[in-house]
Amino acid sequence: MSKIQQRSLYLDVADRVRELIEQGDLAPGERISEKHLCERFGVSRTPLREALKVLASEGLVELLPNRGARVVRLTLKMVKDTYDLMGALEGLSGELACQNISDEGIRAIRTLHDEMLRHYRERNLPDYFRVNQRIHESILAASANEVLQETYSNLSQRVKRVRYSKKMTDDFWGNAVQDHEHMILALEARDGRRLGQILRDHLCNKLEVASLAGVVEDETALEVATS
Amino acid sequence: MSKIQQRSLYLDVADRVRELIEQGDLAPGERISEKHLCERFGVSRTPLREALKVLASEGLVELLPNRGARVVRLTLKMVKDTYDLMGALEGLSGELACQNISDEGIRAIRTLHDEMLRHYRERNLPDYFRVNQRIHESILAASANEVLQETYSNLSQRVKRVRYSKKMTDDFWGNAVQDHEHMILALEARDGRRLGQILRDHLCNKLEVASLAGVVEDETALEVATS
DNA sequence: GAGAGGTATTATGAATTCAAAATGCAGCCA
DNA sequence: TGGCTGCATTTTGAATTCATAATACCTCTC
């Protein structure tokens, strides 16, 4: 029995373009040729153009009237602003999670937390990242606020292209783990205010280790120096 | 000399549909007939459909595959969730504003504040609301975070349809003005933490006086009782 | 050889057309 | 009478077509 409800074509196209942007197959600032992508996806221009409009309203591409679309170039300021925002949202998610999460939910996150610690002790960065992300997702889900989840994931998508330094220093890593220790304690105490604050600060630290080279505008490095 | 840079048609259409929704000309849950709107706007289906896709990604309409579009029905939970989110964003805007605003900017807001107080004393609700909104907009602008501004205005648009009770009690009004007194003091002291907190709580109060009848799902009133 | 101007080509914007799905309605049967 | 089946109509989804703006290229002039 196959699925009855078929998704619209433009949604699939949008997903695929998002993927290309995230993977870097469509470079920042790169002109998006409608014809080229149509042939690549095997669809006509109509659904592709609809998809581009959606992606534009998501902030992933920009549409220049009569001159096509291009992948938005992230500036350092945009990334920083987005992180500030995501920090506030993470903070809210922590507060709400403490109000709404079940005891079982807390135990599940504790399990993830312990698993993450194992990966940390073994210096297994990929698995650490994976479990780390699941913890944050779990807290977000526990907030039981769908508008928040949707907004967060949109912002997250925008900066997904930014890759983090492979050579994350032990210092930063240690601090992050320390943050998580405090998080789980606050969560188990259902101290929303505290959990929120930790989550917010935690994200700010994350920004610091972000290696923005390549994805971010070069001229922006200049901005940093001058500001 | 006319403007050289013409906006795309779908943007104009999107604006007009947004207006119709905000004004209530398109009722919540109402089916949106492509043909009807095309004739009304004098455009073909292509730009209208592009506009609908954008509006869907903004959360104003929902697209049912093969069955057209409809104006989203706001549930009480959605409105509440959105306000929680907007509260967090207002809080952030306050913190950032204190960091970034100029002394002149503070003086400008103080002027607005005093003007608002005059309208309050004269019980001039429309002008009070207008100036009130300008204050919040000024703080948001002073945050110097465009991603924040854009996100806030999107969320704001979603719940714009919700009309506030004409019979706002003197109590609530007095409290709101009191909040504003604290706000301007925190701003003048550049106490971001405090301003943020006030703005957040201020918005929560606003929700309480919201008269949700008509725009919000009826079944939702039930949800309130059961939760 | 460099630059300006004009034409050809290409890409985008929007309308139209074609195909497929959903809706409405009439007739049929229990 | 009530509900189901099947056909006609309407509506949506997607491709195609047409018009217009942008780009590239070529020529002509200095």
Give B175→chain A minimum CA distance, Å.
Answer: 24
Distance set, CA B31 to CA A118, B25, B51, B67 (Å): 53, 12, 15, 9
**Chain B residues closer than 8 Å to A5 by CB:** 65
Residue whose pair of structure tokens reads 């949707």 in the numeric block: A150
**Closest-CA residue in chain B for A53?**
B54
**Strand extents, DSSP E, A16-150:** 31-32, 61-63, 69-71
Q: By the 8 A CB rule, do A140 and A148 touch? A: yes
Least confident range from A5-14, A43-52, B67-76: namely A5-14
Residue B199: name the closest of B119, B93, B110, B79 by CA. Answer: B93
Is B35 exposed, middle or buried, given 0-12, 13-18 or 19+ CB atoms closer than 10 A?
Answer: exposed
Q: Which A-chain residues 6-65 have CB contacts (< 8 A) with chain B?
A: 6-8, 10, 46, 49-50, 53-54, 56-59, 63, 65
Q: By the 8 A CB rule, do B93 and B139 touch? A: yes
- Give, rounded to a whole angstrom, the gap between the first and last alpha carbons of chain A: 60
Give A120→chain B minimum CA distance, Å.
Answer: 32
B34 touches strand D (CB under 7 A): yes
How do strand A31-32 and strand B61-63 relate by DSSP bridges? unpaired
**Closest-CA residue in chain B for A77?**
B145
Predicted pLDDT at A221: 37
**Closest-CA residue in chain B for A196?**
B88
Determine the residue among B11, B45, B46, B85 to mutate to test chain A binding: the one whose Cβ has the most chain A Cβ atoms within 10 Å: B85
Could B85 and A155 be called an inter-chain contact, meaning their C-beta atoms sit closer than 8 Å? no
Q: Tens-digit pLDDT profile for chain B (227 aa)?
A: 444 457 899 999 999 999 999 999 999 999 999 999 999 999 999 999 999 999 999 999 999 999 999 999 998 899 999 999 999 999 999 999 999 999 999 999 999 999 999 999 999 988 999 999 999 999 999 999 999 999 999 999 999 988 766 567 788 888 889 999 999 999 999 998 999 999 998 887 776 656 555 566 544 433 332 22
Q: Residue A144 — left, alpha, or beta (φ > 0 → left; ψ -120 to 50 → alpha)?
A: left
Predicted pLDDT at A223: 34
Residue A37: name the closest of A10, A60, A57 by CA. Answer: A10
B89 shares contact with chain A (CB less than 8 Å):
yes
State phi, psi for B178 to the nearest 5 degrees.
Answer: -55, -45
Could B88 and A84 be called an inter-chain contact, meaning their C-beta atoms sit closer than 8 Å? no
B3 shares contact with chain A (CB less than 8 Å):
no
Q: Which nucleotide is nearest to B8 (CA to C1')?
A: C13
B146 shares contact with chain A (CB less than 8 Å):
yes
Q: How far apart are CA A94 and CA A191, in angstroms?
A: 9
B141 shares contact with chain A (CB less than 8 Å):
no
**Closest-CA residue in chain A for B159?**
A147
pLDDT per position as a tens digit, A128-187? 999 999 999 999 999 999 999 999 999 999 999 887 665 678 888 898 999 999 999 999
Q: What average pLDDT does chain A have?
A: 88
B81 shares contact with chain A (CB less than 8 Å):
yes
In chain D, which nucleotides are within 7 Å of a protein Cβ?
11-17, 21-23
Q: Which domains does chain B have, with CATH numbers?
A: 9-71 (1.10.10.10), 76-209 (1.20.120.530)
Residue type, B83: Y
User: Which residues from the 31-90 window of protein chain A have CB within 7 angstroms of nucleic acid chain C?
Assistant: 31-35, 45-46, 49, 63, 65-69
B82 shares contact with chain A (CB less than 8 Å):
yes
B65 touches strand D (CB under 7 A): yes
**Strand extents, DSSP E, chain B:** 31-32, 61-63, 69-71
Predicted pLDDT at B59: 96
B155 shares contact with chain A (CB less than 8 Å):
yes
Which two three-digit tokens encode residue A157? Answer: 């998508």
